[in-house]
């Protein structure tokens, strides 16, 4: 398992790789633009080329991921918000392609009382429209995978269950079948999982969660893990990240989950506040590696 962190891309995405290297991160996640603004921050051809070169030459960082803009809500029944979300998603996808991002991770959105099924249909149609827009610049074959992130379960959000995520993948692939080559997968956020009421506080519960995920979605779809502790209790349905080992999940439970051999191929990305509230630092990467190592020892002792 590769372990890394979300990092600032101020100064261009190549700078994010440089910052990640200093932290000892093996993977890095960035925003393609301001996460709370519609207006895109264009990545110039020169910046994209520098990022690709930095990634190729790095002896530490192996992959880069992008997190989609928070404002995007492809499940919205409001026509103008849906339209802006499609355009923004397409812009994010274009940025990902330009820097050879391994995945665009995004929150599916909120159906805003229009109903779950209507929201699922809207998201699939929105992604298909965004892929069509992006294909005008990059063709029909995409390097970047689209990764649906599970949600904490607040309000009318979609993605709180494995069934939601499975339906999103199935519906989107059905629309795009035979038209474009693009892969869809999942990013599991450990805090969102906990907040949505999914308990993995023991080895047997971890096994149960993994079996359910594999049955409903398929482990081959799991590409990334957002590794975060939680400021809120199990089932609180709130998105509140805490530093590793100081939240309601705890280091032992996190270690049990991420060190399970079913998750070996997934890349682990920290989104914790960090020691100064400004994001992950080297000390957080070190702690994540210890948590993973300790988890491995538990599984080895159980077998």
pLDDT per residue as tens digits for the range 126-170: 999 999 999 998 889 999 999 999 999 998 999 999 999 999 999
CATH of residue 37: 3.20.20.150
For position 82, what pLDDT does the model report?
Answer: 97
Among all chains, which residue has been given the structure tokens 């633009």? 33
Residue 37 predicted with pLDDT over 90: no
For position 302, what pLDDT does the model report?
Answer: 82
Report pLDDT digits (tens) over 214-261: 999 999 999 999 999 999 999 999 999 999 999 999 999 999 999 999
Residue 41 predicted with pLDDT over 90: no
> Which residue range(s) make up the domain with 87?
3-302
The answer to whether the CB of 2 falls within 8 A of the CB of 267 is yes
Cα–Cα distances in Å, from 23 out to 59, 82, 124, 226, 287?
13, 38, 37, 17, 12
Total domains present in the chain: 1
- In 3-state terms, what secondary structure has residue 147? strand
The answer to whether the CB of 30 falls within 8 A of the CB of 64 is yes
Q: Can you list the alpha helix ranges (DSSP code H) found in 7-99? A: 13-23, 45-57, 79-98
Report pLDDT digits (tens) over 258-303: 999 999 999 999 999 999 999 999 999 999 999 999 999 999 998 7
Mean pLDDT of the chain: 96
Mean of the pLDDT values across residues 24-41? 90
The proportion of the chain whose per-residue pLDDT surpasses 90, expressed as a percent, equals 91
- DSSP output for 282-293: HHHHHHHHHHHH
Report pLDDT digits (tens) over 58-83: 999 999 999 999 999 999 999 999 99
């Amino acid at each position: 398992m590769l372990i890394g962190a979300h990092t600032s891309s101020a100064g261009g995405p190549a700078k994010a790789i440089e910052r990640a290297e200093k932290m000892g991160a093996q993977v890095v996640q960035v925003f393609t633009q301001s996460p709370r603004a519609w207006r895109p921050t264009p990545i110039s051809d020169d910046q994209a080329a520098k990022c690709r070169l930095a990634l190729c030459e790095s002896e530490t960082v192996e992959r880069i991921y992008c997190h989609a803009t928070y404002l995007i809500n492809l499940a919205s029944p409001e026509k103008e918000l849906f339209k802006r979300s499609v355009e923004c998603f397409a812009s994010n996808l274009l940025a990902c392609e330009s820097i050879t991002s391994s995945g665009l991770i995004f929150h599916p959105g909120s159906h805003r009382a229009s109903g779950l099924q209507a929201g699922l249909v809207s998201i699939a149609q929105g992604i298909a429209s965004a892929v069509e827009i992006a294909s005008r610049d990059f063709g029909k074959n995409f390097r970047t995978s689209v990764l649906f992130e599970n949600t904490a379960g607040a309000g009318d959000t979609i993605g709180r269950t494995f069934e939601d995520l499975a339906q999103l993948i199935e519906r989107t692939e059905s629309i795009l079948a035979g038209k474009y080559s693009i892969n869809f997968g999942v990013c599991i956020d450990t805090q969102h999982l906990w907040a949505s009421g999914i308990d993995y506080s023991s080895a047997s519960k971890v096994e149960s969660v993994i079996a359910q995920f594999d049955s409903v979605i398929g482990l081959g779809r799991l590409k990334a893990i957002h590794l975060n502790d939680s400021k809120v209790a199990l089932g609180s349905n709130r998105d509140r990240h805490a530093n590793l080992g100081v939240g309601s999940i705890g280091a032992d439970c996190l270690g049990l989950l991420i060190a399970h051999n079913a998750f070996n191929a997934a890349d682990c990305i920290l989104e914790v506040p960090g020691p100064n509230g400004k994001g992950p630092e080297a000390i957080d990467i070190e702690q994540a590696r210890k948590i993973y190592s300790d988890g491995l020892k538990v599984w080895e002792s159980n077998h």
